[in-house]
Amino acid sequence: MNPMKIVEIIKDLFKVKMPIESISAAKPGFLNFTLDPAWVKSQINKVIELGESFGNISLGAGVGIQVEFVSVNPTGPLHIGHARGAVVGSSLSNILTAADYQVHKEYYLNDAGAQIEKFAMSIFANYKNQKGIVTKIPDDGYQGEYIDEVTSTIEADLGHQIDEMSDQEALNTIKDAGLELMIKAIKHDLITLRVEMDEWFSETSLYENGTYNEVKSKLNNNNLLLKKDNALWFTSSKLGDDKDNVIEKSNGNPTYFASDIAYHYNKFKIRDFKFVVNIWGSDHQGHVPRLKTVMQALEIDPSRLKFIITQMVKLKRGSTAVKMSKRTGELITLSDFIKEVGVDACRFFFLSRSADSQLDFDIELAKQKSSDNPVYYIQYAHARICSIIRNAKQQKIDFLNGNVDLLDHSTELDLIKKILNMPEIIRLISLRLEPHHLAHYAQELAAAFHLYYQNCKVISTDTSEFELTKARLKLCEASRLTINRCLSLMGMAAPKEM
RNA sequence: GCGCUUGUAGCUCAGUGGAUAGAGCGCCGCCCUGCGGAGGCGGAGGCCGAGGGUUCGAAUCCCUCCAAGCGCACCA
C-alpha cells in the first residue's frame, strides 16, 4: 500500500487525549499533528510557575555520574586548548544536573611520575643557573617564562633553606613547592573561567592507599599480567586491544596507564558511579581503546564509560594564525586570553561547536561588541526584556494575572513554541553529551524574541489594550526566564542592562 | 603503514534514515512620528570531498578512494 493511503487511514485512529487541534496527512506520507493553540499558550503559565527550574527534567533519576575534565599535568599553566575542555565539562555538568543526574566534577591531578620529576629537575637547573652555577636543563625539560617565575618565587620563599640542603633534599623541596605553585595557578585560571571542581583527585593517593595493589592482584588473578623484559605488562591484546601495555617499567616504577587502571577501578568499584564521562583532548584519543579493555578486565559494563574527545583549538586574529607552543615560550596564556576576549565570549565560542570539530577561534571577532557577535545578540535579548519589565513596574502594571490566551500573533506563538523546546534540548544534550546544542538553541530563542519584539508592541499606551499588555508581559517574563536559564547553564552572565 | 576525528553557502559552523539542506558573518536591496537599532525584513549564493552500495527514501548507514588535524613509548 502506498504511504499516503496508510497515513490517511491511521490519522483517524488517534482518539487519545492530547492537546492536538488536528491531524492531517501530507505528502509523501507524513502525519502532521497540530497542537491546540490554547494549550500551547497555557504553558506560559507553567513556565512562570516553574521559574528558575523550567527546563529541568527527570531523565537521570538522581543517578551518580562523574565528569572528569581538564586534568592537565601540573607542570605548566593552562592554555587555550585546555580551556575548551574546561568549558565543555563545566557546562555539560550544569546541564546534566538539570537533567537530574547527581554530578561530580573532578580534576585528576597527575602528581606522580616521570614528568613531575622532570619538571622539578628543570626548575632546579634553572635555579642553579640563576645562582651562576651553569647547569644543563634536562632533555625535553620544561622552560619558558613561567618556569623563570616559579623559580624566582621559590628562590624568594625557600632559597635560604634550599641552599643548605643536599641536592636530593633540594629537589624534593622544589618539587613540592613547584607543584603547589602550578596547581594554584591552574585553580586561579579555572575560577576566572567560572569552572569549579567538586574534587581534585590525587594520582599519588592511588598508590598510598593500596588501590593500585588491589587492582594489580585482581588483574593477576584474571591472568592478564605478564612479566617480560623485566617489565610488567597488561595483556590487553587478549581482550581485543591491538597491543599489550606496560604497567610497571623495568626500573620498577608504574606507568601512567597503571594509575589510570586504578583510577577507573576507584571510580566504578569504590565510589560506585553509575556513569563516568572522561573529557580528553584529541592528543589522548589513542588511550580510549586500552581503557575500554580495562573495563572488560575489571568486569564493568563498558557502556558506563563515555568519552568526549575535544579537538584542537586554533587561534586567529582576523586571518592570521596565532602560534602556540609550550617549549618556545611563544605562548598565549589562558589568563591573557580571557583578559582580552572576556569570559562570556570565551565560554560561548568554546560551547558553540561540536567537540568533534576543530575550532577556529577568531580573537578579533569574539572581541567585537556588535551584532557580528552572537554573545551580544543573546545577552542583548535578555537586557531588552529586563528593560521592558522595568518599564512595566514603573507604570505599576501587575501582569501576573494576565490572560495568555490573548496571545495570537504568529511571532508570539513561534516564540512560545521555542521556549517550550527547552526541556527537549536538555534531554538531547544529556543523552548525547553534546552541549553545543545549547549555544545554538540560545541563539534561536533570542532570534525568536527579537522578531516578536519587532512585530508586537508589548506595553500599549492604548488603555483598551491593557489586558493584551499584561499577557505580553507574561510572555516576556517567560522568555526572560528561559534565556536566563540558557545563559546560566552555559556559565555566562545575563546582564539586566548593557 | 594502522587508528580516532573532520570535509555541507565566499568564511565559521548546525543538521546521527524523511518534506523545498539551515544559521551567523560577508555581499546586495529595504524597514524607525513606537517599550533599548547591540534590532527586523527580503535577495543572491550548495553536484552536502569523490565514487560505488543498502533503502520506497541517504548530508546522515556500509565499502573504496582523496584531503586535513591528532595519535600510534618501559612520557603523561
Q: What is the pLDDT of residues A315-328, one digit of tens each?
A: 887 667 776 655 44
Q: Which nucleotide is nearest to A382 (CA to C1')?
A: B36
Determine whether the distance from the CB of A252 to the nearest atom of strand B is below 7 Å. no
pLDDT range class, residue A176, cuts 50, 70, 90 = very high
pLDDT tens-digit series, residues A284-310: 999 999 999 999 999 999 999 999 999
Burial-class residue A400 by CB neighbours within 10 Å (0-12, 13-18, 19+): exposed
* pLDDT of A143: 84
* pLDDT of A113: 83
SS3 assignment for A350-387 = HHCCCCCCCEEEEHHHHHCCCCCCHHHHHHHHHHHHHH
Peptide linkage before A423 cis (omega within 30 of 0): no
Determine whether the distance from the CB of A425 to the nearest atom of strand B is below 7 Å. no
* pLDDT of A140: 79
Q: Which nucleotide is nearest to A113 (CA to C1')?
A: B76
Share of chain A above pLDDT 70, in %: 94
Q: Which nucleotide is nearest to A431 (CA to C1')?
A: B16
φ/ψ of A54, rounded to 5, equals: -65, 135
* pLDDT of A370: 64
Chain A window 271-290, residues with Cβ within 7 A of nucleic strand B: 282-287, 289
CATH 1.10.730.10 fits A44-59+371-489, yes or no: yes
A2: pLDDT strictly greater than 70? no
A161: pLDDT strictly greater than 70? yes
Find the mean pLDDT for residues A233-237. Answer: 91
Q: Which nucleotide is nearest to A229 (CA to C1')?
A: B74
A239: pLDDT strictly greater than 90? no
Find the mean pLDDT for residues A194-204. Answer: 96
Q: How far is the CA of A373 from the C1' of B28 (A)?
A: 22
Question: Grid coordinates standing for A96?
Answer: 546534566
Of A410 and A109, more confident: A109
* pLDDT of A325: 54
Determine whether the distance from the CB of A443 to the nearest atom of strand B is below 7 Å. yes
Mean pLDDT of chain A: 89
A269: pLDDT strictly greater than 90? yes
* pLDDT of A329: 45
Amino acid at site A293: T
Distance CA A208, CA A234 (A): 21
Delimiting residues of CATH 1.10.730.10 domain(s) in chain A: 44-59+371-489
Within its chain, how far is the Cα of A421 from the centroid? 21
Q: How far is the CA of A283 from the C1' of B63 (A)?
A: 28
A460: pLDDT strictly greater than 90? no
Put the strands of the sheet holding A275-281 in their side by side order. A199-202, A102-109, A64-68, A275-281, A305-310
The ipTM (two decimal places) reads: 0.92
Q: How far is the CA of A261 from the C1' of B4 (A)?
A: 21
